[in-house]
Amino acid sequence: MAAQETRIITKFLRERPDDSFTIDAALANGAYEGLKKALAMTPEDIITEVQTSGLRGRGGAGFGTGQKWSFLPKDVFPRYLAVNGDEGEPSTFKDHMLVEGDPHQVIEGVIITSYAIQCHTAFIYLRGEFGLGAERLGQAIADAYDKGFIGKNILGSGFDLEIVLHRGAGCYIAGDETGLLSSLEGERAMPRIKPPFPAVQGVYAAPTIVNNVETMSTVPHIINKGGEWYASMGVNRSTGTRIFSVSGNVERPGNYEIELGMTFRELIYDLAGGIKDGKELGFFIPGGASSPWLIAEHLDAPLDMDSVQSELKTMLGSGAVMVFDETVDPLLVAWRIAKFFAHESCGKCTPCREGSGWVEKVLYRMSHGYGRPEDMDLLLGFGNNLALGMSWPPGMTTICQLGPSVMSPTQSLRNFWYDEIKERMARDAEARGEILVRSEVPA
């Protein structure tokens, strides 16, 4: 039987696409029931329940959500919750759907989480480009205030909470958890050195929990149905369901919520309809532009956060699966991703600021017919200064993960097409008959 979706956090928005974002429709669907249940529990019990569920952060790093909450230093107040809805990892579009389609689910998760970690101000940092998303989330927050789900003495529990919707303004690195905190403080979104971790010193140097929008959307369901129920789904330490954003050369690009443990083949072929126009698969990127790539022989591997890292040396990251058919030039994709990172490098750490630009320049000439025979080795040589060891997970020479991510496409070129690319560069150089210096390479 063809693989199916398991819809938990996407069920309602799929069933009622016309009005799922309104308070009336959400209430009719049982929104905020989890909140009522949570307010009758102790904060510690909520944290334990979420730990039991095995829920891991859906933003990319996959850290245990309940565990993260438990890292807050005791008796240090105020503390804050910052929800990460910056969603900038190329080809990820799940949070976009969640805030537009089911904002009350996000808000309910935020209130429950705030109660669990005992914070009284929560920020939702939403990507600036989400015009409609900000409008719907803003309206949903206002409606939730009116109904007494946010504000003073929520539903008579004595718990107070303010939620502030904060729009970003176009910046990938604001999606890094410490970059987000800098941005929230009104500064350039430059990541900060860890430790201190945000749970100890985050926004305004106060303890801060940073959680993704999808993670927040999942919390109400765990409270409603229990951690054991959630943990009964999934595979190994990858419990529950996750949304995968499938795009590129597939018949049915879109968001698919599936039980973890399904294979890439089932996701790409059964759900997303396979490769467009009857072509064959060339390669695919399993977890956003930062992750090293995979090819057809990896299709039967399970979507398991740990085994993808240990066996396949890549990651499920943000859940963005990009699929490319046999006619797509891997060098062109590698160049475009490098161009993205060069554009988004914040400039704080030298290896990334300088390196990302050079990688882009070299990959540009390689992918546009101006490559040199030694270019592949050149990239691998200086790439090691950005991603120590040139494997996954990489050694770090920069504060945040953007630095080593610059080299993921190059690593992938080396893994699958090293000889082929070297030969192609030699052929290109011969056909051209001369080596062009940078200023002579046409843009």
Partner 1 sequence: MPFTPANLDLARETIAKYPQKKSAVLPLLHLAQDQDGHVTPAAIEEIADLLDLTPALVLGTCSFYTMFKREPIGDLLVSVCTNVSCLVNGGPDLLDHLQRRYAADSDVTVEEVECIAACDLAPVLQVNYEFHGPLTGPDAETVVDEYKAGKRVARTISGTRVGKS
Report the site for partner 1 in 297-326 (rule: CB under 8 A).
320, 322, 324-325
Name the residue nearer to partner 1 (CB basis): 87 or 259.
Answer: 87
What span, in angstroms and rounded, lies between the C-alpha atoms of 189 and 181? 7
- Give the range of 65-73, 160-168, 207-215, 349-357 binding partner 1 by CB under 8 A: 160-168
Name the residue nearer to partner 1 (CB basis): 93 or 115.
Answer: 93
Give exposure, 412-438, as e/b (b: 16+ Cβ within 10 Å). bbbbbbeeebbebbeebbeeeeeeeee
Cβ 161 to partner 1 shortest distance, Å: 13
Q: Does 248 bind partner 1 (CB under 8 A)?
A: yes
Q: Does 151 bind partner 1 (CB under 8 A)?
A: no
Contact track, partner 1, 336-355, x by CB under 8 A: xx--x--xx-x---------
Among 76, 169, 193, 441, binds partner 1 (CB under 8 A): 169
Q: Does 187 bind partner 1 (CB under 8 A)?
A: yes
What span, in angstroms and rounded, lies between the C-alpha atoms of 314 and 286? 8
Q: Does 254 bind partner 1 (CB under 8 A)?
A: yes
Report residue 240 CA to chain centroid gap: 17
Cβ contacts of residue 18 below 8 Å, gap of 6+? none
Q: Please, which residues bridge with residue 244 across strands?
A: 256
Q: Does 332 bind partner 1 (CB under 8 A)?
A: yes
Q: Quick one: which of 96, 91, 116, 118 has its CA closest to 106? A: 96
What span, in angstroms and rounded, lies between the C-alpha atoms of 104 and 95? 13
Name the residue nearer to partner 1 (CB basis): 28 or 142.
Answer: 142
Q: Does 131 bind partner 1 (CB under 8 A)?
A: yes
What span, in angstroms and rounded, lies between the C-alpha atoms of 439 and 111? 55
Rounded to 5°, the CA angle 127-319-308 comes to: 145
What span, in angstroms and rounded, lies between the C-alpha atoms of 341 and 205? 29
Report the site for partner 1 in 72-111 (rule: CB under 8 A).
78, 87-93, 95-96
- Return residues touching partner 1 (CB under 8 A): 78, 87-93, 95-96, 121, 127-132, 134-135, 162, 164, 166-172, 183-189, 204, 245, 247-249, 253-255, 285, 289, 320, 322, 324-325, 328, 332-333, 336-337, 340, 343-344, 346
